[in-house]
Homo-oligomer: A and B are copies of this chain.
């Protein structure tokens, strides 16, 4: 503690998000909405460790991710901070195989870490909110169709305007690459397609050529992912496609079935759109892939992505544990919307009432506070020695909607002077009446 007398500038690193109370309250309300809906759909909570053994995570790390992970040594251990919640899920399921019931439905909400170069909207420490269903040996396609229903329920309640879930199936793309004789480059091609909205067609085509994909094949891939239209139209084009192999046909069948089921789940057709350009960057997807876009904020990119993976846990479990899931990147989403009108009406406190004692003996004011809390009303008591004006001002600045003033008169009459901080109206009421008014 040599630096005891040196003043240190308090500052967090760039690429990290911290919020003021008024924003944190909204962020937490979002977390609550997400959690509630995950639970309504029967997902159980899970909370895996943040520090994992590196060998476990790197088993599933793609090259891109490997550069970004926070990896360090301590006491002879090679450690990594988790960079997503999916690979740890695979490890957890394999580890607890005999203690879990399948299909295993879990949600996890927590921070993950990626040492990316900081830039607007990119974070090094950020929340992911994940659901996944993992089957033992097999997993019904109905699970793939339920995912969009969960996304719908959440984004409707978040009330961020219209949104579109774009869906595709990796088998279709991989079937196409195989048909074109480019199966060996599948992973890299998918990664380039995934970057398309960011880098544009021309640069994407160039990157594909640099990968060694022949120019005419690049053209065919581009033509294919450019097919647009209603789900019905694209499906019909796929079914009459010249691409003829089992993988492709299976992908088309799965996609059609998933869209059909999604209707049963109440997902409107305008909300779930087949898009052949949706590829996802991660290696492990083998079937359905999803991305979700907010219609009013297209610049944010996908706010909820995921897919089906059939082999994620095989390195750990030595058996097939197919899964499907999605992840909401909440930190990025929140950060991007922070400045917009969507996030107005801020309060810096969750308290619904500020008890203001105007007497020295706090017995009665504290009893009142206790009764209000007993009725489920978040209640704060103003303790500092200050003038009445300053006390009301504190309630105002924090956005606490009511003040409950308790002085000699109120104690004598067994009432409280309840002030509505918005309207300024003040009246003498009993605690029971106050509970009704505030609650």
Q: Please tell me if the beta carbons of B39 and A350 are within 8 angstroms of each other in the complex.
A: yes
Known A44-B349, A349-B42: A95·B385 in contact at CB below 8 Å:
no
Residues of chain B within 8 A of A142, CB atoms compared: 362, 381, 383
Q: Please tell me if the beta carbons of B20 and A100 are within 8 angstroms of each other in the complex.
A: yes
With an 8 Å Cβ cutoff, the count of chain A residues facing the other chain is 106
Q: Please tell me if the beta carbons of A50 and B95 are within 8 angstroms of each other in the complex.
A: no
Residues of chain B within 8 A of A377, CB atoms compared: 40
- Interface membership of A438, Cβ < 8 A: no
Known A40-B378, A45-B28, A51-B16: A140·B383 in contact at CB below 8 Å:
yes
Known A7-B316, A47-B24: A380·B41 in contact at CB below 8 Å:
yes
Number of chain copies forming the complex: 2
Nearest B residue to A105, CB-CB: B380
Nearest B residue to A59, CB-CB: B8
Nearest B residue to A115, CB-CB: B74
Nearest-CB distance from A111 to chain B (Å)?
Answer: 6
Q: Chain B CB within 10 Å — which of A52, A96, A153, A383 has the most? A: A383
Q: Please tell me if the beta carbons of B384 and A103 are within 8 angstroms of each other in the complex.
A: yes
Which of A39-62 touch B at CB < 8 Å? 39-53, 55-56, 58-59, 61-62
The 5 A-B residue pairs with the shortest CB-CB distance in the complex, in nearest-first order: A42-B380, A72-B72, A10-B316, A142-B383, A42-B351
A residues near B (Cβ < 8 Å) are 1, 3-4, 6-13, 16-21, 24-25, 27-28, 39-53, 55-56, 58-59, 61-63, 70, 72-75, 77, 79, 91-92, 94-96, 99-101, 103, 105-106, 111, 113, 115, 124-125, 135, 138-140, 142-143, 146, 153, 261, 264-266, 315-318, 348-351, 354, 361-363, 366-367, 370, 373, 376-381, 383-385, 394, 397-398
